[in-house]
Amino acid sequence: MRAPRSILITGASSGLGAALAETYAAPGKTLFLGGQDTARLEAVARIATAKGAEVHTETVDVTKRTHMEIWIDSANGIVPLDLVIANAGISAGTGDGGPEPADQVRRVYAVNVDGVMNTVLPALPLMQKRGKGQIGIVSSMAGFRGFPGAPAYCGSKAAVKVFGEGLRPTAARHGAEVSVICPGYVRSPMTAVNNFPMPFLMEADDAAEKIRRGLERNKARIAFPWPMYATVQLLQIIPPSWIDGLMARLPTKSS
């Protein structure tokens, strides 16, 4: 959607979410920013306000379905939502290379999958009723192929990627746009704990600008940087049995 005036962003207290908030902040814009860290969320809000935007913040856990429904409905009542970006997510890995703890797997899915559903499912009917609006679902390059260092994270991002791709044509019948966002490594608190090389690591503000431009063009898939995108697409083509040995030697992500 070109020039959205009312934007709701989850996970806006740091990293890519904060960068998106700052990217969209401008006179005439209304931002609804959600996150779990109240102090950091307010800091982002101050920056966005200084850039001329009207900002509303909500300390919210995306896994809490009822709270999310109330927040999104309330925000839409203030200014009808043009753009909702389901960005909130967490990452975890296998640590020493062993199986992920069951509680960790369920927590990753609760935030990365249920959190997206708790954002998209209340927002989309509001847009379809008006016959306009846009949803941006933040997946990841990790959603193209399961990597042994972070299987739950990869699986959760694959789930929302395919969900968004399937949702796009049906949403369009009622005037709503859906884009799936698949970044590579973006500098943030999430990636700061990684103790392995991160090729093509991007600054959060550069990633946010790429996302903004992609959403303006209503791109079905906003994937970047292109060398990593090409690599993960190639990995999808190669039979798993051919690269199992290589996958097993990849570094693991800390739990």
159-190 pLDDT, tens digit per residue, is: 999 999 999 999 999 999 999 999 998 887 76
Asked if omega into 225 is within 30° of 0 (cis), the reply is: yes
- The pLDDT value recorded for residue 59 is 98
Q: Which of 24, 109, 153, 229 is catalytic?
A: 153
Kindly report the pTM of this predicted structure. 0.90
Please say if 109 is a catalytic residue: no
- The pLDDT value recorded for residue 195 is 60
pLDDT averaged over every residue in the chain: 91
6-34 pLDDT, tens digit per residue, is: 999 999 999 999 999 999 999 999 999 99
Q: For residues 24-33, b (16+ Cβ closer than 10 Å) or e, as one string?
A: bbeeebbbbb
Query: Cα 234–155–227 angle (5° rounding)?
Result: 30
Give me the domains of the chain, ranges plus CATH numbers. Answer: 6-248 (3.40.50.720)
Q: Which amino acid is at 239?
A: P
Q: Lay out the sheet containing 177-183: strands in order across.
A: 54-59, 30-35, 6-9, 83-86, 134-138, 177-183, 221-224
39-86 pLDDT, tens digit per residue, is: 999 999 999 999 999 999 999 999 999 999 999 999 999 999 999 999
Find out whether 171 and 135 touch, Cβ atoms under 8 Å. Answer: yes
Find out whether 32 and 9 touch, Cβ atoms under 8 Å. Answer: yes
